[in-house]
Amino acid sequence: MSMKRQGFTLGEVVITMATIGVIVALTLPLLLGDIAAKHRMVKLQNTIGDLSNAIQAYMINKRINHLADNPEDLDFRNLLNCKFDNKEKKCVEISEYDHKNMNGGDASESLKASFQNDILVLDNGVMISRQNSQNAYSIFIDINGQEPPNTVGLDAFVVNVYFEDQRDDDGNITAHAGEIVGYLSTENKTDATLKAECKGGDGLACYTLAEKNGFDPDYINK
């Protein structure tokens, strides 16, 4: 009488477990990376929402519909929840950048040249800095703070906030005063140009593309 084989041999179990281990080892980093990228995009959107709410609240409290009268008066240390140094009795601020671009080059010097003010650290770890231009605030945001990847386009971005309404040649508003925006349509930048500039360390180009693609974590390849 023949005996039916039941179960698996030890060798078969070992081979199966080893195969599963290899598959997990190959796919887990990709899966975790995708989750981290999605989390960064969500945090970027939340940070933009917090900034927008703070600016709008400031404009309402001041009873103004533009920011041109006194741009220096908009101080994020008074409008956002900063990380507070109880010993120094002030918000935590840092002065150094340690960032790279998507191409692997150093972006620290260009960021420091563009944003000469100290970087404010918020209580949720986000870092933010502001620089005034002729007609707008240029705002640097690193949603991971000093934690990696510290890469323009991954966790570091730049946005603009115009002092007054911006209009095209036909008089149509392209950005309202106090609105957080990237490059305007009137600047006629193609997607190919934005991608190249983003990979080279232009945080405003990165934000423009990210917003245009619904904050898809893979926005740079869309």
What pLDDT score does 77 carry? Answer: 87
What pLDDT score does 93 carry? Answer: 94
**Contact 164/68 with Cβ under 8 angstroms?**
yes
What pLDDT score does 54 carry? Answer: 93
Higher-confidence residue of 181 and 34: namely 181
Which phi and psi angles does 136 have, rounded to 5°?
-160, 160
Ranges of each domain in the chain: 10-221
Residue 161, pLDDT above cutoff 90: yes
Residue 1, pLDDT above cutoff 60: no
What pLDDT score does 107 carry? Answer: 95
pLDDT per residue as tens digits for the range 63-121: 888 887 776 778 888 889 999 999 989 999 999 899 999 999 999 999 999 998 899 99
As to burial, measured by CB atoms within 10 angstroms (0-12 exposed, 13-18 middle, 19+ buried), residue 104 is: exposed
Which phi and psi angles does 178 have, rounded to 5°?
85, -5
Distances (CA, A) of 13 to 21, 57, 156: 12, 63, 46
Banded model confidence at residue 137, pLDDT cuts 50, 70, 90 = very high
Give this prediction's pTM. Answer: 0.84
Banded model confidence at residue 32, pLDDT cuts 50, 70, 90 = very low
What pLDDT score does 45 carry? Answer: 96
